[in-house]
Structure 1
Amino acid sequence: MTEIATLPFKISVLVFLRSEDGRLLLIQRRKAPNLGCWSPIGGKLEMALGESPFECAVREVHEEVQLKIATDDLHLFGYVSEKSFEGSGHWLMFLFDCKVTISALPPEIDEGHFAFFTREAINTLAIPPSDHQLVWPYYDSHRKRFVALRADCHPGQELEIVVEQSL
């Protein structure tokens, strides 16, 4: 087993929102991680407040796109435990599919600007490199199901993905 560096551990959510015509809403990030890349909306849990992943997803959707949803509007379709992401930290990322559609493009925020994309178009965008293997294929195959993933993301090494559970 590869030795794991002692790095900070962060917990986050990604929320996959769609327009009424089925296109996916992405944000082009102005901040690290994933600076300049397109990704679903999301953010870090307020761990000092004891925030759950569902509470975080509801909060992030409201903060970033001004859409009020409830936990029942979300389907947790997976999580990814990333070791040594970008060599700067370990992440536990919860993946949510939102059952509520968004009717219009949200206004730009401090964290970036938004656009709608077809699923096929996302493959051609500047997205985080690991998302090509780690996020989008499992969105495609499990967004109505559940998957638990572990990924070793050590810089300079090939991404190693282990499916710990798939339902």
Structure 2
Amino acid sequence: MSIPVPPSEPNSLPYKIACLCDLRDEQGRVLMLKRLKHPNFGLCSPIGGKLDTHTGESPAQCAVREIAEEAEIDVPIDRIRLIGMVSERAYEGKTHWLMFVYRVLGSVSVKTGMTREGELFWVEPSQIESLDLPESDRKVIWPLVREVAPDALTDEPGFFAVHIDCDGDEMTWNVEQLTKPANTHAN
């Protein structure tokens, strides 16, 4: 089996590494941020940020740090689970991204409102698609999050890995790994 290799570009783009953090409250609502900074200025996304590569920070350490900085709560590293890995080629034609998606197990309490990063707010999971989201979040990331981590408060989540090609007129993606959660509750 061969792994498809993207065509090379004459001007290679920088590669950035980041994490996204899925936090839920007692009602199962998702913490979102309406961003005041680029990339994705004015759009909604979960909290997160770039890995501090200069210090050798791990993706999990980045998630814990970003949660502390943006949500102003301390979450121990043993309460987060890696639920996804997203590679984006040529996002906005400017950058390749490698993102690690983490879910905080159990509920958290976070003060919402304006921060230096943007506006923090809670939203029902069923309402996420009604928000102004980056296209890759709407079409790829959130549907995969729902598939591998349907119940934030009780289930041990599964895992996904996806490659998203943002180059060209149409975004395309390939799910490279999908592991469903081990114990799901019947409704």
**Deviation string, structure 1 residues 104-123 (Cα, Å, up to 9, x no partner):** 43342111011110011111
Is the Cα–Cα contact under 8 Å of residues 47 and 66 in structure 2 kept in the other structure?
A: yes
Distance across 2 between alignment mates of 1:11 and 1:72: 21
User: TM-score under structure 1 normalisation?
Assistant: 0.94
Report how many residues are paired.
166
Is the Cα–Cα contact under 8 Å of residues 65 and 107 in structure 1 kept in the other structure?
A: no
| Aligned-partner residue type, residue 158 of structure 1 | E
Partner residue in 1 for 2:99: 93
Runs of 4+ in 1 over 4 A off after TM superposition: none
1:150 has 2:149 as partner: no
| Aligned-partner residue type, residue 148 of structure 1 | A
Distance across 1 between alignment mates of 2:78 and 2:62: 13
User: TM-score under structure 2 normalisation?
Assistant: 0.85
Listed as ranges, the gaps of 5+ residues in structure 1 are: none
Alpha-carbon RMSD: 1.3
Higher Cα radius of gyration: 2
Partner residue in 1 for 2:177: 165
Is the Cα–Cα contact under 8 Å of residues 73 and 110 in structure 2 kept in the other structure?
A: no
Distance across 2 between alignment mates of 1:100 and 1:86: 34
1:37 is aligned, of 31, 43, 58, to 43
**Percentage of matched positions with identical amino acids:** 40
Listed as ranges, the gaps of 5+ residues in structure 2 are: 1-5, 150-156, 180-187
* Higher normalized contact order (CA 8 Å, seq sep 6+, divided by chain length): 1
Is the Cα–Cα contact under 8 Å of residues 105 and 116 in structure 1 kept in the other structure?
A: no
Is the Cα–Cα contact under 8 Å of residues 83 and 152 in structure 1 kept in the other structure?
A: yes
Distance across 2 between alignment mates of 1:24 and 1:151: 23
